[in-house]
Amino acid sequence: MNKQQQMQGILKDTVDYYREDPSGRRSVTDDGDCMYTWGKNHCAIGRYMRDEYQDETWENNNMSVNELCDSADDGVWNIDWCLIDDAQGLEPNFWKNLQDFHDSHSCWITEDDYNKDEEPIGLSRVGKDNYRVIERKINMGGYDD
């Protein structure tokens, strides 16, 4: 599998997973802060982190993707150090865009937002547009090293 296929798979998996129950599956504290792990829930990136980092007490649980990249021990700016093997080797900006997409409340329709005369629970119109932007960027090589 090449990197574009890998990113497309992660993007699709993320949307499919959160679309089913955005409010119940997203990793958000009672105060509305997005975390990599909160309870048994994980954010878009948290789902791809190594087991030892899927813990809400992890000191980096609320860091940005850029901050995680800065924390790499090997001196190379990347996020691979905390990701499972199957998710490594991708451009950090892909992870940043995926996280922003996941964290943005406007991308999702939750039970609290649901209006039966409009869209169903899941991905909103804004979310669909953002999904297509990321998908297009992948296809056009925008995340290539």
pLDDT in tens, 59-111: 999 899 999 999 888 778 899 999 999 999 999 999 999 999 988 888 888 87
pLDDT surpassing 80 at residue 117: no
Q: In the chain, what is the greatest distance between 2 CA atoms, to the nearest angstrom? A: 52
pLDDT (0 to 100) of residue 25: 84
Q: Phi and psi of 65, rounded to 5°? A: -60, -45
Split at pLDDT 50, 70, 90, the class of 116 is low
CA distance 40 to 81: 22
